[in-house]
Every structure is written in C-alpha cells, then in structure tokens.
Amino acid sequence: MLNEVAVLAVIGALHVVVLVAAFTGPRARLVGGLVVIAGNYGLRRLLFLDPALGAEPLAWFGLILLGDLVFVLLLVMSAARPDGQPRLHPADMAVVALLVVSVGLAVADVRVPLDIRAAHWKEEYLYIGAYALARLNGPHALDRPGLLGGMAVAAVAVALWQALDGPLAVDLAWMSSGRSVLAPGADAVAGAHGLGNLDAGWIRPYGFFGNGTDFGVFLGAVALLAVGASGGGMRGWLRPLPLLCAAGVLLSVVRFTWVVLALGMVFQAVLGVTGELRRTALLGLLGGGVAVAGVVFLTVAPVLGDSASLWGRAFVTGTYGERAEAQAAYADRLAEQPSILLLGEGFGGHGSAAAKFGFTAPGPVIVHHSRLLDLVQDGGLVLLGLTALPVILVLRGGGGGDAVRGAALAFCLAFLIAASLLGAKSALLQTLTWGFLGVAVNRAAVPP
C-alpha cells in the first residue's frame, strides 16, 4: 500500500506544481504543458514497481487521462486569460484545416475500426492543442525555459546512471510490463529489443522518458531553445545546458535524435542569416538534405552487417535493412495502386498504428518507419500537404533575426525532415513540435 501511495503522490505532485505555476502568468503555461506531457509519460512507468498497481489498466489509462485533463485545463486557462490578442497568421488557418480534415477522417473513414481511429487521432492530433497553447500565451511563451532545463538536467543524470550501472528497477519493470512497443512483454528483458540488450550487457539510456527517442528529441529541443534564449531569461546555472543536452542526445544511442539535433543546429545557424542568402540556404538544405540522406540510406542500409554491442546497435544494426525493404515494398504498392496517393489506405490503418493499437489490417502490414509515408497512408497527399503547410507558411514569414523564433522553427524543420525519413511519433513529440511552431508564429506575427 505504501508503494501505491508513494507512486501516486509523486505523479500527482507534478501535475499540481504545473497548475500552480500556470497561475503565475502566461510564460509558464506552454512550458507547463510540455512538462506535463513529458513527465506524465515518464512517471507512469513507476506504476510497474508495484505489481498489483502495474497490472491494473485503470491506473495506467487513468494517469493518461490525468495528463490530458491538465493539458486541457492549461488551454482553458489560456483562452480565458490570453496574453493580448493573437494576430491572425496564415498558419492558423492551415492548422484549422488540418484539424478539420483529421477529424473528418477519424469519424468517417470506415476502412479502419472506430476505436483504432479514435486512439490514433488522439495521439497524432490532440496535441495540436500545444499550438493554441503557444499562440494564446504570446510571443514570450518560451522565454523562460528554466523548468524545461531542470527536467533536461535530471533526465541526463538518470540516463548517465543507466549507462554506467545498467537498467534501474523501474527499467526492468517497464521492459517486462508489455506497455512499451519497443519491449513487448515479460520475455523482452532478455535478448535485443528497442530499449537495449540485457544479454549483451547494455541499455539505450532514456532517463525517465520511457524510450530513447522521446528522451533525445526533448533534449535536442531544449538545447536549441537554450541557445536561442541565452541572451534573455537563461540563468547562469543553465548556460552549459546546450552542451549537456547534446551529450545526452549522444548518450541515447538513437540515430533519429542525432539527426534532429544536427539538422536543428544547422537550421538555427542558417536562420540567423538574413536576406536572399537565408532563403537559398534553407531551400538547399531542405531539398538536398532529404535527397542525400535518402540515397545514402537506400544504398548503404542493405549491405550493413550485424553487431550485438551498444555502438554496433547504433551504427550497424537496428532496423536499417527492414526500413529499406519496407519502404521499397510500399513503393511497389504505390505503383500498383496509385489511387492511394490521393485517398490513403485508412486513417490509423498503417503499420505503425497497427503495431501500437493492435489493429489487424486486411492487407500486408508495412512498418516503414516514415512519418511521411504514415501520413500518405492515413489520408493521402492532402493530409501530408496540410501537415507540412503550417511549417512552410511560418518559414515564409518575417522575424528571422529573432533568436527564440529561430530556435523554435529550426527544431520544427529538423523534426519534420528527420521524421520523414526515419519515423517517430508520440504525444511528447507532437506537443513539442506544435508548441514550438506556435511560438515561431507568435514571433513572426507579433513584434517581441
């Protein structure tokens, strides 16, 4: 009973702190929303330290609902007391159009069961609310990233502990819980899987986030933001934060997070340049980066060997070959059925959603690890275009010299490109992306 009380008290305390902080003003609300989504997922893993509590589905889903409820309360609070009147931006209309189309697909696309469509919409589109959370709280919504910085420092400390001492008790409980798609079931504590290879003596450190992708992308976003905010609200003890976050990203041994941080750093530097040179450089990076990465991926992946070591997992093994084969198989399907480019194949019916929500698709399931292809399968080129359009519209806006806007937009661009090739999705990643995009819009539409 003591374990249950302690676990629930820790989780409840996080949500109470965020709500109390939100009353201090608009600068704490977006940061609070990010902390709630990140912390809720990480702390939910504590349930499995108590076997009885971990086996209770009501506890797991109840805590998910708690996090979502606090997130919605932050939205309501922001709508009731916004920081000024947000100036309408073309990206706002694009986001509304995306929401309308996604809701329409979730309601009307009968090719996939309703419960799968609802679960998929919730994970993919509910957290567009972070965009509204940012817009309602003005251009300075991310000026004080101290709470995010503190969470990043704590996460890196736990990850270092995992790297040096192996999995913690909560990690072993999490791996055997069956809740993680990367380590599904009690047998997952042995052998190789997405969280590590205990037989070979290593784990991919992820702090308290539950997986290395969320951990590394969060750190990458905080690193870029810390650089952008270094001239403003960054306290002295947080000045080394970008370097600490970069070390944590490397420690995650997740290639996707490395790509996000590397691209983000390049975009952040380019966005600091003004005039036609910036536009040319951005277009070159967007087109050339995708083309070069795609060619390298498709040519190198099939010939890579195998290794059971941690760094071998990062540089040699993993899912290189499987991804290349799956994407080639999907290209074959497009050649046979070009109509699916326009209509998709069913909202939530692609391989990534099938693996997460247990949906058995009528045709062959292809897990291609590509956000771009997931969107095409969900709703065709229309859904893909509407997802990319807000970022493009913000990119065309002014305010390129603003450092915080540059950091936010650099992250969005980096994540969009990396996810198109490598694939990554979660509530946290959606919240980060849409929240940062909202900040970039604020900085373009309202003079800081």
pLDDT at residue 448 in the model: 41
- Band the pLDDT of 96: cuts 50, 70, 90: very high
122 lies in a domain?
yes
User: What one-character DSSP code corresponds to residue 173?
Assistant: H
Q: Are 117 and 348 in contact (CB under 8 A)?
A: yes
Say yes or no: 4 and 138 in one domain: no
Mean pLDDT of 305-312: 53
Q: In angstroms, how far is CA 204 from the centroid of its own chain?
A: 18
pLDDT at residue 399 in the model: 47
Q: In angstroms, how far is CA 178 from the centroid of its own chain?
A: 21
pLDDT at residue 304 in the model: 47
211 lies in a domain?
no
Q: Which of 198-207, 239-248, 403-412 has the lowest mean pLDDT?
A: 198-207
pLDDT at residue 109 in the model: 83
Q: Is 372 left (phi over 0), alpha (psi -120 to 50) or beta?
A: alpha
205 lies in a domain?
no
Q: In angstroms, how far is CA 83 from the centroid of its own chain?
A: 26
Averaged pLDDT of the chain: 77
pLDDT at residue 156 in the model: 93
Evaluate the CA torsion angle 358, 361, 364, 365 in order and state its sign: negative
* Higher-scoring residue by pLDDT: 281, 374: 374
pLDDT at residue 446 in the model: 44
- The answer on pLDDT for 365 being more than 80 is no
* Higher-scoring residue by pLDDT: 326, 390: 390
Q: Which of 81, 99, 130 is the last residue of a domain?
A: 81
* Higher-scoring residue by pLDDT: 68, 349: 68
Q: Which of 119-128, 183-192, 303-312 has the lowest mean pLDDT?
A: 303-312
Q: Which of 59, 81, 103 is the last residue of a domain?
A: 81
The beta strand positions in 28-153, using DSSP E, are none
The beta strand positions in 263-400, using DSSP E, are none
* Higher-scoring residue by pLDDT: 374, 434: 434
- Phi and psi at residue 82, in whole multiples of 5°? -70, 160
Residues above pLDDT 70, as percent of the chain: 73
Per-residue DSSP letters for 3-27? HHHHHHHHHHHHHHHHHHHHTT-GG
Say yes or no: 118 and 9 in one domain: no
Say yes or no: 339 and 419 in one domain: yes
pLDDT at residue 291 in the model: 52
148 lies in a domain?
no
Mean pLDDT of 158-184: 80
Say if strands 202-203 and 192-193 run parallel, antiparallel, or are unpaired.
unpaired
Mean pLDDT of 358-368: 60
d(CA 221, CA 413): 11
Short-list 82, 89, 88, 74, CA closest to 36: 74
pLDDT at residue 231 in the model: 52
- The answer on pLDDT for 322 being more than 50 is yes
pLDDT at residue 435 in the model: 93
Strand order from edge to edge, sheet including 196-197: 192-193, 196-197, 202-203
Short-list 145, 150, 156, CA closest to 246: 156
Range of the domain at 25: 1-81
Say yes or no: 9 and 126 in one domain: no
pLDDT at residue 92 in the model: 92
Token pair belonging to 346: 């069913």
Using one digit for the tens of pLDDT, what is the confidence trace for 281-298? Answer: 455 555 555 554 555 444
Q: Which of 69-73, 187-191, 335-339, 417-421 has the lowest mean pLDDT?
A: 187-191
Token pair belonging to 149: 């910085």
* Higher-scoring residue by pLDDT: 447, 56: 56
pLDDT at residue 302 in the model: 46
Secondary structure of residue 168 in the 3-state scheme: coil
- The answer on pLDDT for 166 being more than 50 is yes
* Higher-scoring residue by pLDDT: 248, 166: 248
pLDDT at residue 50 in the model: 79
pLDDT at residue 433 in the model: 92
227 lies in a domain?
no
162 lies in a domain?
no
d(CA 35, CA 52): 27
Burial class (CB in 10 A: 0-12, 13-18, 19+), 438: buried
Say yes or no: 33 and 126 in one domain: no
pLDDT at residue 438 in the model: 92
Mean pLDDT of 363-384: 77
93 lies in a domain?
yes
Say yes or no: 290 and 378 in one domain: yes
**Beta-bridge mates of residue 203:** 196
Token pair belonging to 129: 């609310």
Q: Which of 83-97, 232-246, 296-310, 316-330 has the lowest mean pLDDT?
A: 296-310
Say yes or no: 278 and 390 in one domain: yes
Q: Which of 45-49, 391-395, 399-403, 405-409 has the lowest mean pLDDT?
A: 399-403
- The answer on pLDDT for 214 being more than 70 is yes
pLDDT at residue 380 in the model: 86
Say yes or no: 36 and 98 in one domain: no
Say yes or no: 8 and 138 in one domain: no
Mean pLDDT of 339-351: 77
Say yes or no: 287 and 388 in one domain: yes
249 lies in a domain?
no
Alpha helices by DSSP H, 196-319: 212-229, 241-251, 255-271, 276-300, 310-315
Using one digit for the tens of pLDDT, what is the confidence trace for 9-56? Answer: 777 787 888 888 777 778 888 888 888 888 888 888 888 887 777 777
Considering its fold, how many domains does the chain have in total? 2
Q: Which of 81, 102, 130 is the last residue of a domain?
A: 81
Evaluate the CA torsion angle 15, 70, 228, 285 in order and state its sign: positive
Mean pLDDT of 267-275: 69
d(CA 374, CA 358): 16
Say yes or no: 41 and 107 in one domain: no
- The answer on pLDDT for 350 being more than 70 is no
Mean pLDDT of 128-157: 87
Using one digit for the tens of pLDDT, what is the confidence trace for 353-362? Answer: 666 666 666 5
Say yes or no: 131 and 11 in one domain: no
Q: In angstroms, how far is CA 306 from the centroid of its own chain?
A: 28
Burial class (CB in 10 A: 0-12, 13-18, 19+), 199: exposed
